Each structure stands twice: as structure tokens, then as C-alpha cells.
Chain A
């Protein structure tokens, strides 16, 4: 009997495995569309048909929009509540419901690419870490010029044409930058407590070498702590160069704070070599997380777990103060490269309407609302008052909004709607300020930082990549092999850089640089 059962089981196993080998179950889970969109019923909409005729902003039928942005990867139960609250406002005004999707940093590029190329699960989204220009030219994004004139006057008022125009591809507008920090200084964020425990005077650190000395102290004194943690295989994204286009691949850049207008190959520059060499030495000395290249975690996870001392990041005024309310392990920051304003900082995250959307007009109306209506913006960024946050100082912020913090009894780990990734949301500048550490004129200070930072000589220039598309594709494949790993310190630059650059040459980087230089020169002549 037992034998027979075993035989049946084995047969079942065999057929199952036969069926299983048909599909490869390995592709990363596509677009984790958040739960059904029909969360809030449209009870009122049918009774209010007469009202719809009067108000011309209302959609004739209830429209549900999928809105995608980045946040912590945690499942959050508060999202449904926030959707409901946003729907209450948007349904009355536009007869629109929203379905919010939040994707984690580690898989954001991959998942949004799949969403855009399948056209599913997204109407409105933050385009971030994916090649924006190629999305635009391949029709994955919806042209906005007419829509913004019609429904986006508020956005124009908020951003101004200067910044809006940075999002043009071949003269057409496909994406809008946000109200956020548009320049960046580069530096290091570290655990305050750990620095204190080891008597490190972090404020005196001015260079990478100084930092290296401090990291060595941590390495010696702290057990099971990585002095430098890495996010999803990326250690340093920029160190004071203007990428003149895609900041993830840096093909043809202005190096050394971008004050010279000669386009060069970043990977041949002294600046890059020095940086990669330092990282390699650090890795050899055990200062950088050993599995940096493979990690899919973000550095903040390690920081919170107390297993990392710090991480490289781009900085803005009050970076630490802004993040600390969400952290168990409070951080401090040191600036190592001064602030630089480049076009790609403005266009690194853009809000776009998906090319496949059926409701572009509704999407623009909602977008306008997100840029201009503090109530909707605050809901999206921080959740619901009294549930997720409470007001500490009403109306104290210089824009008339409130200073807020976690609702009673909640903290960063227990809240059901975590404030994270708000910098990527459409317009922080009209909203509340989170936490009492920040000054009341925080948004003004950020704006000043945007305006007063050192400007790249190519600030405002955007590269038209269509002529060199093939070279860029080939070079991108090469850069993906080496660049992140080099800056993680996982490869020896002495051996790797010559190979890397040879492959780039074969792939046609010189053609890209020549073309970029020509376009930049033409642009500069226009400006003069």
C-alpha cells in the first residue's frame, strides 16, 4: 500500500515538475500592482450626474487612476485609508479615484520599466532611474504641452517655465520636475551614536582621506559593523561631475565641478580613477560592506539594524534633521563635495503621464492638484492627520502649513503609512514639515540652496541622444558591467579601468563625446 502511495506521489511530482519546467519562474515579479482598485465605491457618482454637467472639470464617468511612486518596500495597511481620503476630495472635484502604488528603491527601475513597456498598472508616475528620454521618444510617456496649458496652470505657477522646460525631449514636454532640492552636495551620513562612542570628531572631516581614517577606527572598535554600507549595489552615484544626461551611466561628462566646458570620458579622468582607487583600498581594508555588489538591501536597513556606520549620499540642507524623525539610529552628515546644480538634478525624477493611459486629462488634473493643493499633497506625503500624524505647531511653517510628527503611540516602525521618498513626490514645498528638528523656513532654505549652489557651466543644457542611440546602448551595457562595482571598491581599478575604457571605445564612446561637445558648444553659443 505504502509503495502504491509513494508511486502515485512520485508520478504527481514528475508531472508537476514537467509542468513547472515550461515556464521559468525566475523573472522578477512583475509590477506588484497593489490590491484591487475598486476600493472605494462610487456610490455618489451616479446620483450626481447633473452636477457633472455643471462642473466642467468633472469626468463624465468615474475614472480610477493608478499612481506610482517610490517608498519603503514594506506593505503598508494605511495606504487604503489614504486612498479613501484622497478619493473623497478628488471624486468631488474631478470624479476621479486613485489607486496608489509604492515600489521599493531596489526594484523601482525594473518594475516601472515593465509597467511602462506593458502600459499596465500606471497612469501617473515618477520617472526615476529609468532612461527618461528614451521612454519619451518611444511613446511610453504622454506629451504634456496641451494638457498643462489646459489643466496645469497651477503647476506652471509653482515650478516656473525655466524648470518645466528642463523636461523637454526634442522640444516636447513629457515630465515635470518636483518642488524639491534641485542641486546636490555629496557627502557621508553616519550614525551619531557610533561616532560618539568612538570619540570621532566628524565635523573636522573635510576629505575622503580624513573619512577613511575615521572609518578605520570604526572597523577596529566595532564588531560586526560595516563602516560603509551600500544601497542595492550602488555606493556613490556622483562626486561632483555633470553627467550631461543620464546620471546612471555618465557617458561624456564635465568633471571637477563642471566649470570647464570640455566634454570628457569620466572613466578616463583622474577624478574617477582616484575615487575608484580609494574605494578599492577601502574594500581591501574591510571598510566597505563585503557583498556590496550583490546586495539588494538599502543602506538604511543596515543602519537601522546597527550593523553599519554610514553611507555615501547626496546631501541638501538639513538632510539629517529631515530623516531623523523616521530613524531609530539618528544620523549626522558631513559634506565632502560642495553643492552643484546640474540639469540632470532637475530631471532626475520627473512626474509623467503614462503613454498608455486612457485618461490623460484626468491625470493632469490630479497632477495639478498634487502640485497645488496642500491638503491632497499632505495626504499623499504624510497620511491622515490624527491617524498617521499629529500637528505639533499649526500654521508655523513659512508657507502657512503645520509642523507635524507621528501620531501618538506611533513611530517609524509601527506607523501604517510611512513618510518616505517624499522628495520624489510632486511638491513638498506646499506641504507640512515633518519633525521639530527642521527650521520653519525649511522649504525656503531648500529653495535658496537650489538657487545659490554652484552652477554647472552646462546648467540648463539637455542632450539629444537620438543621433547616437546605438553607441549609447552599446556603452550602457559596458558601463553596467563595471561602473557600480568599481565605485563599490569591488574591482581593482589598475586592472579594470584600461579594460573598461577599451570596451567603451569599441562601443563608440568617442562618437557620443564628439556629438555631446558639438551640441553643448551650440547651446553655449546660444546662451552667450
Chain B
């Protein structure tokens, strides 16, 4: 009996396996089709351009074409390491992004919780809109908003605030020491609204039963936040942070290029890899050298992502890692 049923089962498996596979394909066809445009985009936008990596190892001559240009080994990379440029731009990119991640997350969560505490629906909507608005402003406009504040001639800070305190005006665009703060403030002001909405969406989804139970147990507002809200937010925080870490070696080009207004004396502090690559291309007009900086970015970025993922696996377990 048992052998018979086992055989039957086996036959069933064999019989169903084939159509099952085909059936699964047909059933999933819409999903494959949905996947297709994205995959094509990825291929065109990310994979095909990767062939451009060879430019970094060539002395590009446009009349010969990229493929026929002479190979020059690593010589395009030497200028990066001749000065402190490579160190500077790596440090800037990493430290800025790190502070964006930490401060951005803390502020976004704080505001999301505050937003959640507002009971008036109308006020809630007003605040949400106000918070999100900076995210929608073009960075070029933002750079002029900043200029309106910092300009030595007409700037609000020099002419109104510092004057009111009797302080000397500051030449903001030639003093590198202020810029780490300025850039962090501008960036967070601009993007926290977006993260905030994501966190808020999670908050809204938390079951009210938990809060009711907490209230019955005698928890005050603060305790509710610490023991109910934050733990419920944790998965969202981890996902968003990991995604940010994955991009830690890429910088917001607009922020670092437009907001300091291309001011030479600030470059040590405001140059990131992306702006450096662009500037090399514009001022040096050398495709090989600017590509070299780009390749450097890719390699170090790749290593960092692997490291971040590895450490998340170690600390937070498999299920929290990106891959």
C-alpha cells in the first residue's frame, strides 16, 4: 500500500512537473513582462555604460575613436594621488553622507512622530505639505536661496542677523570652515520631508491596540514612543539606512556643485567625487583623467557596499542584509 502510494505520488509528480513548469511560466508571464522594461533600462543605463571603464586606461583620441586609442595603463590615475585630492574627495563624500544618514534619520523620525501626535487633520496636512515642499525645489533655486542668506553684499545673515548682534560680516563663500555645517543643514532641510513621509506612513499603520494596551498599563506619552512606536519603526529604519549606505559613495551633485557656487577657496571642503569628476572634465578637458576618478569611485564604492552588507549580516542577521 505504502509503496503503491509512493509510486503514485512519484508519478503524479512527474506528470504534473512538466505542465507545472510551463504553466508557471504562463501564469507568471505578466510579471516577466512587467520586469522587462525595468531590466532593459538597467541594462542600458547601468551595464552598457560600464564598458566606458576602459576610457580610464586610455589616452583618448577622438579621431581614432575610443577603442583604437592607445592604452596608457594607470597613468591617468596618478594625478589623483599626486595631491591630497583623492583623500579629500573620499573623506568628503563619506563623512557628508554619513552625517546625512545619521542626522537625516533622527530628524525625519522625530518629525514623523511629532506629526503623528497632531490631532487636527487639517493641520497635519498643512505640515506635511510644508515639510515636503523643499524636496520639490530645484537645487539651483536652493543655491540662490542659500546665496540670499549668505551673500556678502545683500545676504540676510550678514546684513541683518550679524549686524543686529554687532558682529563682523563673514565672507561665507571664502571660508571653508563653515561649509560642513551649511551643506548638512541645506541637505537635511531639503530631503528630510521625504523620509519623514515614509516613516509617517509606517506610524499610521501601527495597530492602535498596542497604544491602548500601553495606556492601560500606565505608560505615558514618552514611554509609548519608546516602547511601541520606535520598535515598530525599526524595520523601516533598517531598510532605509541600508539603502542609503549602498549609495554612500555617491553624492548629490547639485548640492555640492550648485550650493557652494563653484567657489574655488571652498573646494577642499566641498568637492566630492562626483563634482570632482565633472570639474576635471570641464577644466582639464581630459576624458581619460576624469574617467579615472569615476573608476576610483566605483571601486571604492563597491568595496564599501560589500563591507556594509557584510557587517549588517554579522550584526543583524541574514534577513536584514540587502543580499
Contact = CB atoms under 8 A, between A and B. Distances in A.
Interface stretch (B23-31, B32-40, B78-86, B314-322): B78-86
A481 B125 CA distance: 46
Given A26-B258, A291-B151, A356-B62, A474 B285 contact: no
A507 B285 CA distance: 18
B254 A291 contact: no
B288 to A, nearest CB: 8
A491 B285 contact: no
Interface residues on B, range: 35 or more
B85 A474 contact: yes
Interface in A61-97: none
Contacts of A113: 281-282, 285
Interface stretch (B133-141, B211-219, B225-233, B235-243): B133-141
B257 interface: yes
B90 interface: no
B79 A474 contact: yes
Given A6-B125, A13-B132, A507 B83 contact: yes
A114 B283 CA distance: 10
Q: Is the interface of A mostly helix, strand, loop or mixed?
A: helix
A481 B267 contact: yes
A131 B258 CA distance: 24
A481 B265 contact: yes
A78 B257 CA distance: 35
B64 to A, nearest CB: 7
Interface residues on A, range: 35 or more
B138 A503 contact: no
A477 B275 CA distance: 12
Contacts, number: 145
A134 B279 CA distance: 16
A255 interface: no
Contacts of A142: 63
Interface string A239-259: 000000000000000000000
Given A25-B139, A293-B263, A474-B82, A17 B173 contact: no
A138 B285 contact: yes
Contacts of A140: 62, 285
Contacts of A139: 60-64
B62 A485 contact: no
Nearest to A289: B153
Contacts of B287: 117, 138
A30 to B, nearest CB: 11
Contact of A293 (B125, B264, B268, B280): B264
B63 to A, nearest CB: 4
Contact of A116 (B173, B257, B262, B285): B285
Given A26-B257, A289-B153, A507-B82, A481 B264 contact: yes
Contacts of A27: 253, 257, 278
Given A17-B136, A139-B64, A290-B152, A117 B285 contact: yes
Given A24-B254, A131-B284, A294 B132 contact: no
Contact of A14 (B171, B197, B257, B264): B197
A470 B78 contact: yes
Interface string B61-90: 111100000000001001100111100000
Contacts of A117: 281, 285, 287
A161 to B, nearest CB: 25
Given A293-B174, A477-B83, A109 B264 contact: no
27 contacts: A24-B253, A25-B139, A26-B140, A26-B257, A27-B278, A117-B281, A117-B287, A138-B59, A138-B61, A139-B64, A142-B63, A233-B262, A233-B264, A290-B152, A293-B264, A294-B147, A294-B151, A294-B261, A294-B263, A356-B62, A474-B85, A477-B79, A477-B83, A478-B83, A481-B264, A490-B265, A506-B84
Given A131-B284, A482-B265, 20 more contacts: A26-B138, A26-B140, A26-B258, A138-B62, A138-B287, A139-B64, A290-B153, A291-B151, A293-B174, A294-B262, A294-B263, A355-B63, A473-B286, A474-B83, A476-B284, A485-B174, A485-B265, A490-B171, A503-B83, A506-B83
4 A-B pairs closest in CB distance: A26-B254, A139-B62, A139-B63, A290-B152
